[in-house]
Amino acid sequence: MPHRVVVLALDGILPFELGIPQRIFGSARGQGPLDEGRALYETVTCSVRAPGPVRTDADFSILVERGPEALATADTVVIPASYELGPVQEEGRLTGELTSALARVRPGTRLVAICTGAYVLGAAGLLDGRPATTHWSSADHFQRLFPKILVDPGVLFVDDGDVLTSAGVAAGIDLCLHLVRRDHGTAVANAVARSTVVPPHRDGGQAQYIRRPVPERGSAATTAARAWALGRLEQPILLRDLARQESMSVRTFTRRFRDEVGVSPGQWITQQRVERARHLLECSDLSVDQVAREAGFGTATSLRQHVQAALGVSPTVYRRTFRATTAGR
């Protein structure tokens, strides 16, 4: 059976964020010979009340056809942001409706909050002692209201295993893509990214508030340098060579790159090399030594260190996990 995702639509919900899980998970299709084209997730929406209209923050309401009983069927529950959280956001306590609804969630169900949806998990006590994030503009208030939560105000999302939280709006896309990648591997996640025309990977630790995400008219960007680097990840890439692609000094290029991408050039290159390694481990029969060379890590030892740091497992375990997943679908 497909993994069942239940999205909880609360009054005041943001339509954009409500649509993210349906679009991302709904686009995930099997890539293996036995499951090519098969839907990997079933995504449904429910309310805390009986089926009926739910207000949005726009000039329309939506008709939700499922009540809170759907939460009992979920493998993953997603709570998008709402602008009408009332005592949840003002006092850090759940309403009676929310308490009853969340009580239906089975133990072990994966919980995901997008943006200020994290207030619901916080008010339920589900984030106490755990790392979490929310929209940068709400992070200070969130921390004051829930002092037991380890709030990281700067990152795109936090994966704490069975509980995940994201920053606002587009970071919800990053988090849902991350879950697809975690569940089914890079090839499936990249196919979803291509179909939805979004970047295939932004690391959870990337800064959520980038000062200049779009270069000013007439100012130089770093796009050409990034494209140049992606074409030669297996080779040594020096900072001065990246800067040369944009005819900038190293100092100017480094500052501009961080402003546009949110991380340093070195961090970005490492992220891209890990993604290349993931793809090769999933989709090729290259040895670990060969993967290390093709991804630009040089040695198997370096590959193991970076993959372990990024993914929490060794290259061999990662390959075995996703090879077994593909074969068993």
> Does the pLDDT of residue 261 top 80, yes or no?
yes
CA gap 105, 54 in Å, rounded: 21
The pLDDT score that the predictor gives to residue 219 is 62
- Model confidence pLDDT, tens digit, residues 127-184: 999 999 999 999 999 999 999 999 999 899 999 999 999 999 899 999 999 999 999 9
- Is 46 assigned a catalytic role? no
Q: At what angle do helices 315-328 and 265-283 cross, to 10 degrees?
A: 50
DSSP character at residue 217: T
- Model confidence pLDDT, tens digit, residues 37-81: 899 999 999 999 999 999 999 999 999 999 999 999 999 999 999
- Model confidence pLDDT, tens digit, residues 283-295: 899 999 999 999 9
Higher pLDDT, 169 or 21: 21
Q: Does the reported pTM lie above 0.85?
A: no
Question: Which has the minimum average pLDDT: 83-87, 109-113, 215-219, 290-294?
Answer: 215-219
CA gap 18, 319 in Å, rounded: 33
- Concatenating the DSSP letter of every residue in 303-328 gives HHHHHHHHHSS-HHHHHHHHHHHHHH
Question: Which of the residues 46, 115, 176, 283 is marked catalytic?
Answer: 115
> Does the pLDDT of residue 114 top 80, yes or no?
yes
CA gap 235, 12 in Å, rounded: 50
The pLDDT score that the predictor gives to residue 216 is 57
CA-nearest of 95, 101, 106, 168 to 135 is 168
- Count of positions (residues) in the chain: 329
Confidence of residue 204 (pLDDT cuts 50, 70, 90): confident
* Residues 85-94, mean pLDDT to the nearest whole number: 96
The pLDDT score that the predictor gives to residue 329 is 42
The pLDDT score that the predictor gives to residue 169 is 87
CA-nearest of 70, 26, 77 to 49 is 70
The pLDDT score that the predictor gives to residue 328 is 44
| Tokens found for residue 125 | 């006590």
The pLDDT score that the predictor gives to residue 1 is 85
Collapsing DSSP states into helix, strand and coil, what is residue 118?
helix
| Tokens found for residue 200 | 């295939």
Place of tokens 């200049």: 212
Pairing of strands 157-159, 163-166: antiparallel
The pLDDT score that the predictor gives to residue 182 is 93
The pLDDT score that the predictor gives to residue 320 is 87
> Does the pLDDT of residue 218 top 60, yes or no?
no
> Does the pLDDT of residue 215 top 80, yes or no?
no
Percent of the chain residues topping a pLDDT of 70? 94
In the chain, which residue ranges form alpha helices assigned H by DSSP?
15-26, 87-90, 96-102, 118-123, 139-145, 170-184, 186-196, 223-230, 239-245, 250-261, 265-283, 288-295, 300-311, 315-328
